[in-house]
A and B are shown apart, each in its own frame.
Chain A
Amino acid sequence: MAGISIRDITKRFGKLAAVNQVNLEIEKGEFFTLLGPSGCGKTTLLRCVAGFLNPEKGQIYFGDHRVDGIPTHKRGVGMVFQNYAVFPHLSVRDNVSYGLKARKIGASEQKDRTRNALSMVRLEGLEDRLPNQLSGGQLQRVAIARALVIEPKVLLMDEPLSNLDAKLRIEMRGEIRDLQQKMGITTIYVTHDQEEALSISDRIAVMEQGVVRQVAQPWVIYTKPGDVFVARFIGSTNILQAEVVESTANAVVVRSGSVTIGLPSDNEFRLKRGDSLQVALRPESLFFSDSNKTLSKDYWPLNGKIARYEYLGNLAKYEITLSEDLKILVTDYNINPTQIRKTGEAVTLYYPLAQALIFQEDLLK
């Protein structure tokens, strides 16, 4: 078992850099997730680590051991594929012991390890089944057992749950996390599902267009997104283009169209009057309150009208018109069923100043 060090990896397909100068340090035993929209380069990067692709530039280390240039079959990786890739002509047992046979491990040890691996993924009793007699979830368990039984240095998982239905996906991600913790194996997990990534990972790297935008723990990614892309990609966010009206030690006020927005004064930007910036506001950090009730100065009020609402049982989503050209989304988790707000109703919203995030990016780029 070892950590993984990815140094300055670039992989091109023709002119397009699918992975562009990526550096990542993954610690021993860490559950590390590559998260991003499709085509962001996460699978390409994983396949470089596996050895199926040769990066044009950079190095990959497992512990102190440099592995780029070493063919896949000598790298000692365990890999779990999106479509399971369980060998259809081999029984469950033969699938799991396939890698052991290749390593010329003695028959009795083979038997023990196969049995252990199968019991770990709770597939005892199905040893003699052929893959076409298994369900999707069982197939994925076979694939995981097959990857783990060879005691790989690192475990690589390429969207392993995307072919399962929603309920099973949630169940399996818990199991994968538990297994990984129990074995303490360094894992790189690729997914485009942000909820899955947040729930399963020690740390997440958010990728876009071949570049890593942010590497951090799940809660940091969510509450302190590194840039507008990450803020937009993780959860839903209102991004407001704004211009600074006032910036003093006590108060920062900006204006987006005709709407005035307050920002935390203890931000790390040195804002001057006239600077342009983006404000990110999570829909759930906004809440309804009576307009005549004044909250402390840590909260900022916004007045608007309900343009649209969706009732979803445990929560309600609103689209609020603040001004003619500015609408924001609000998620209300404290809905009072006797007091459903109606379209057209005038409302006052508040948000904690500290939860308004500031970005200064040239969005036209």
Chain B
Amino acid sequence: MKHTFWTLTGILIFIAVIFFLLIPVSRVLLGSFQIEEKGAWTLQNYKTFAIYRTYWISLSNSINVSMVSSFLTIIFAVPLAFFVSRFNIPGKSYIIALSTIPLMLPSFIAAFVWVRLLGRSGIFTGFIQSLGIPFESIYGLGGVTAIFTMQFYPYVFLMTLSAFNTVDESIEEAGRSLGTGPVKTFIKVSMPLVLPSILSGALLVFMTATENFGVPMIIGEQKPFLAVQAYMEFTSEIGDHPGMSYALSVVLILVTMTSLMAQRYYLRKRNFIQSARGRPLIKELKGWSRRIATGYCFGLVLIPLIPFFVVLLISFMEMRGPVIHPNFSLQNYIYAFSNSARPIFNSYFLASMATLASIFIGVPTGYIITRRGAAIGACLDLAIMLPFTIAGTVLGIALIVMFNTGFMVIAGTWMILALSYTIRKMPFIARSSSSILYQLDPSLEEASISLGVTPMKTFFKITIRLMTAGIIAGAILTWVTTISELSSTIVLQTPGWSTMTVEMFQGIISDDMGMATSFASILIVSALIPLLIVMTRFKDEKSVLL
């Protein structure tokens, strides 16, 4: 029996990956060894990198801030996961639901609001200083780290939580019965079992933080960061050969790629598949200890949501430039809509196109990875890891290089934005599809085939049908994260195709508070409604969240 249909599909996807991702990124790589278009090969850009302190500092800032953020997320989120998993904390499902929100909303909105609250002239800054606390403002490396921690802790929390939930009770009991106390058992038995999940979560934090553009741009102040620097060099040198920007991009890719490799190497022999027969026992806390644990959990989950709540609130206030007047007003929305509702449409349209494309490519990719195994599956699995390691700004730059000239000129059209979103989000759909498929017994498909239905028809009649709920949930979440995308949008933005995130970003940079808050609110609502649908309607499809 020849699997012509799937072989062909696999090859097509692979060609797409090569054409839309590998070649553009390779051109950035090659370009980093030139100082002018079609110039001679040289290490000049890297020499410049080595000579100028700014570049070095941007590298160390990016790495340090990302590492400290990952570390802090572990410090805060692991106890949270442990409490939710093992103690009788009330409202657990709310904690889990609320914790997913920061992942869905743009981090630069948080940065922008924290500046309003704790910036040099922030609402609370003076108050804190009057208490005698030596606090200047949230600007700088500490602020960036704090916001990354608040924004990305759910990666560690959700992964660790599911790991804690699957540590078989009997394994811990076995530890206890062999004579170790509860604390020692936890450290010696449970911890090693959940450590891979904690580190996987921390790696996601590291990579997302490293590639983040908006937060350091807004509150990093004069502190250089790689992702920002690559963008700056690119926009300031356009027309010429942006070799320096390429070199920075390559460095950025090296950082993320190295961390991914390190994690894969570590996890290679530590895949502890747990088959939890009994869920772990919930320990009943009483009195103050329960109150403290509950307070910790809700505090941790709610504090990162403050900025989004604040934005919704102040978007209904009167504003003149950066100054807020505490009167209720719809002026910001009227202004935003009368100016143009186009960015809203653009965001929706681009996200929808990218989501459709991601499903169209990602679902078959997930299928090939899970079901077709062997060589092509492994190749595709590796290929879809790549977008994770390529920062949004770098991808934007690479796509412009590739599609600015040549036989497919789509730079400057909406298509390049949709393409970039598809490249960035397709792996998530592929991932979630393959994890749904892992749980789907292959003999269902074989049964259908044995009853006389072709493999291709079986895919549509049985496989897709059984995956639908998961795919829809995944698609909604993809859509939500796509309308929040900034880092590649900012590079690829084209006249007439400005998105909500771009408008917001411009508003923030140019101190147009009305513009920024109204679009931020629309975006938050646009994200929360679908998120709510997923949480209520697709409760069983939690696997798609990560």
Cβ of A110 under 8 Å from chain B: no
The smallest C-beta distance from B118 to any residue of chain A, in angstroms, reads 52
Q: Within the assembled complex, what's the spacing in Å between the Cα atoms of A48 and B441?
A: 19
The answer on a CB contact under 8 Å between B450 and A73 is yes
Contacts of A86 in B (CB 8 A): 447
Contact of A150 among B441, B452, B457 (CB under 8 A): B452
When distances are taken between beta carbons in the complex, the residues of chain B under 8 Å from A51 are 1
Q: Please, which residues of chain A bring their CB within 8 A of the CB of B451? A: 73, 78, 98-99, 102, 146-147, 150
A72–B462 Cα gap in the complex (Å)? 16
Q: Which residues of A contact B443 (CB under 8 A)?
A: 81-83, 85
Contact of A72 among B441, B449, B457 (CB under 8 A): B449
The answer to whether A87 and B452 touch (CB under 8 A), given A51-B1, A54-B1, A81-B443, is: no
Q: How far is the CA of A69 from the CA of B447 in the complex (A)?
A: 19
> How far, in angstroms, from A88 to B443 measured CA to CA in the complex?
12
CA distance A51 to B453 in the complex (A): 13
* B interface bracket (residues with beta carbon within 8 Å of A): 10 to 19
> Measured between alpha carbons, how far is A177 from B14 in the docked complex, in Å?
50
Determine if A73 and B449 form an interchain contact, defined as CB atoms under 8 angstroms apart. Answer: yes
Indicate if A58 sits at the interface (CB-CB under 8 A): no
Name the residue of chain B whose CB is nearest to the CB of A52.
B446
A143 and B444 alpha carbons, distance in the complex (Å): 11
Asked whether, in the complex, the Cβ of B452 is within 8 Å of the Cβ of A73, the reply is yes
Could you tell me if B446 and A85 are in contact, using CB atoms closer than 8 angstroms?
A: yes
B444 and A79 within 8 A (CB)? no
Residue A76 lies at the interface, judged by CB distance under 8 Å to chain B? yes
- Complex interface residues of chain A between 60 and 119 (CB less than 8 A to chain B): 69, 71-79, 81-83, 85-89, 98-99, 102-103
Q: Of B441, B448, B455, which one neighbours A83 at CB under 8 angstroms?
A: B441
In the bound assembly, the distance between CA atoms of A101 and B1 in angstroms comes to: 23
Known A83-B441, A89-B466: A73·B446 in contact at CB below 8 Å: no
Whole-angstrom CA separation of A102 from B455 in the bound complex: 12
Contact with A77, one of B444, B450, B454 (Cβ below 8 angstroms) = B450
Q: How far is the CA of A102 from the CA of B453 in the complex (A)?
A: 6
Instruction: Return chain B residues, CB-CB under 8 Å to A74.
Output: 452
Give chain B residues whose Cβ lies under 8 Å from the Cβ of A244: none
In chain B, what residue has the closest Cβ to A74?
B452
Whole-angstrom CA separation of A268 from B452 in the bound complex? 51
Q: Is A50 an interface residue (CB 8 A)?
A: yes
Cα-based distance from A156 to B451 in the complex (angstroms): 12
User: Is A99 in contact with B466, judged by CB distance below 8 angstroms?
Assistant: no
Which residues does chain A contribute within 8 Å of B449, judged by CB atoms? 52, 71-73
The answer to whether B184 has its CB under 8 Å from any CB of chain A is no
Given contacts A54-B1, A73-B454, A99-B452, contact A79 B447 (CB under 8 A): yes
* Total CB contacts across the A-B interface at under 8 A: 71
Task: Report A-chain residues with C-beta under 8 Å of the C-beta of B448.
Answer: 87, 98
Query: Does any Cβ of A come within 8 Å of B465's Cβ?
Result: yes
Evaluate contact between B444 and A87: CB separation under 8 angstroms: yes
Question: Which residues of chain A come closer than 8 Å to B447, judged between CB atoms?
Answer: 79, 81, 85-87, 143, 146
Q: What chain B residues lie within 8 Å of A98 (beta carbons)? A: 448, 451, 453
* Residues A85 and B452 in contact, CB atoms below 8 Å apart: no
Give complex CA distance A102, B444 in Å: 16
Chain B residues 409-458 with CB under 8 Å of chain A are 441, 443-444, 446-455, 457
Report whether A73 and B455 are in contact in the complex, using a CB–CB cutoff of 8 Å. Answer: yes
The 0/1 profile, CB within 8 Å of B marked 1, for residues 213-228 of chain A is 0000000000000000
Query: Complex: how many Å from CA A71 to CA B462?
Result: 18
Chain B binding surface, main DSSP class: helix
With A and B bound together, what is the CA distance between A146 and B443 in angstroms? 14
Contact B1 A72 (CB under 8 A): yes
> If the complex has contacts A54-B1, A72-B1, are A88 and B452 also in contact, measured as CB distance less than 8 A?
no
Chain B residue numbers with a CB within 8 Å of A50 are: 446, 450
In the complex, residue of chain B having the shortest beta-carbon distance to the beta carbon of A50:
B450
Q: Which A residues lie within 8 Å of B465 (CB)?
A: 89
Interface of A is mostly: loop
**B1-28 interface (Cβ within 8 A of A):** 1
Q: Name the one of B441, B446, B454 contacting A79, with C-beta atoms under 8 angstroms.
A: B446
Q: How far is the CA of A344 from the CA of B159 in the complex (A)?
A: 60
Q: Are B450 and A103 in contact (CB under 8 A)?
A: no
**CB closest residue in chain A, given B454:** A73
User: Does A102 lie within 8 Å of B452, measured CB to CB?
Assistant: yes
| A96 and chain B: residue at smallest CB distance | B451
Q: Could you tell me if B450 and A72 are in contact, using CB atoms closer than 8 angstroms? A: yes
- Could you tell me the distance between the alpha carbons of A81 and B450 in the complex, rounded to whole angstroms? 11
Q: How far is the CA of A327 from the CA of B452 in the complex (A)?
A: 56
The one of B444, B452, B454, B455 in contact with A103, judged by C-beta atoms closer than 8 angstroms, is B452
- The minimal Cβ–Cβ distance linking A205 to chain B, given in whole angstroms, is 22
* Complex interface: chain A residues within 8 A of B457 (CB): 102
Does B1 contact A76, Cβ atoms closer than 8 Å? no
Whether the pair B450, A87 counts as a contact (CB closer than 8 A) is no
Least CB distance from A69 to B in Å reads: 8
| In the complex, per-residue mask of A39-65: 1 if CB is within 8 Å of any chain B CB, else 0 | 000000000001110100000000000
Q: Please, which residues of chain B bring their CB within 8 A of the CB of A102?
A: 451-453, 457
Q: Are A85 and B1 in contact (CB under 8 A)?
A: no
Bound-state CA distance A192–B37 (Å) is: 69
Contact A76 B452 (CB under 8 A): yes
Of listed B452, B454, B457, B462, residue having the most chain A CB within 10 A: B452
Which residue of chain B is the closest to A78 with respect to CB atoms?
B450
Q: A73 contacts B453, CB within 8 Å?
A: yes
Question: Which of A82, A85, A88: most chain B CB closer than 10 A?
Answer: A85
Q: Which residue of A lies closest to B444 (CB)?
A: A85
State A71–B2 Cα separation when bound (angstroms): 8
Most buried by B among A69, A99, A103: A99
Cβ of A202 to closest chain B Cβ, rounded Å: 23
Tell whether A71 pairs with B450 under 8 Å between CB atoms, given A83-B441, A85-B441, A85-B444: no
Residues of A within 8 A of B455 (CB): 71, 73
Q: A146's closest neighbor in chain B, by CB?
A: B451
Query: Can you list, as one digit per residue, whether each of B231-254 has a CB less than 8 Å from chain A (1) or not (0)?
Result: 000000000000000000000000
Kindly provide the distance from the CB of B439 to the nearest chain A CB, expressed in whole angstroms.
Answer: 12
Residues in B neighbouring A146, C-beta threshold 8 A: 447, 451
CA distance A77 to B455 in the complex (A): 15
Binary A-proximity of B297-321 (CB < 8 A = 1, otherwise 0): 0000000000000000000000000
Closest to B456 in A: A73
Q: Judge whether A87 and B462 touch: CB under 8 Å.
A: yes
Cβ–Cβ < 8 Å partners of B446 in chain A: 50, 52, 72, 79, 81, 85
Interface hub of B441, B449, B462 (most chain A Cβ within 10 A): B449
Contact partners of A87 in chain B: CB under 8 A:
444, 447-448, 462
CA distance A98 to B453 in the complex (A): 9
Q: Which residue of B lies closest to A77 (CB)?
A: B450
Measured CB to CB, the nearest residue on chain B to A79 is B450
* A319 vs chain B, min Cβ distance (A): 32
- Bound state CA distance, A156 and B443, in angstroms? 13
Q: Which residues of B contact A150 (CB under 8 A)?
A: 451-452
Q: Which residues of A contact B (CB under 8 A)?
A: 50-52, 54, 69, 71-79, 81-83, 85-89, 98-99, 102-103, 143, 146-147, 150, 156
3 tightest A-B CB contacts, nearest first? A99-B451, A85-B443, A85-B447
Residues of chain B touching chain A, judged by Cβ–Cβ distance below 8 Å, are 1, 441, 443-444, 446-455, 457, 462, 465-466
16 A-B pairs besides A71-B1, A79-B446, A150-B452 with CB distance below 8 A are: A50-B450, A52-B446, A72-B446, A72-B449, A73-B454, A75-B450, A77-B450, A78-B451, A85-B447, A87-B448, A88-B444, A89-B466, A98-B453, A99-B453, A102-B453, A150-B451
24 pairs from A and B in contact (CB 8 Å cutoff): A50-B450, A51-B1, A54-B1, A69-B1, A71-B454, A72-B1, A72-B446, A73-B454, A73-B455, A74-B452, A75-B450, A76-B452, A78-B451, A81-B446, A82-B443, A83-B441, A87-B448, A98-B448, A98-B453, A99-B451, A143-B447, A146-B451, A147-B451, A150-B451
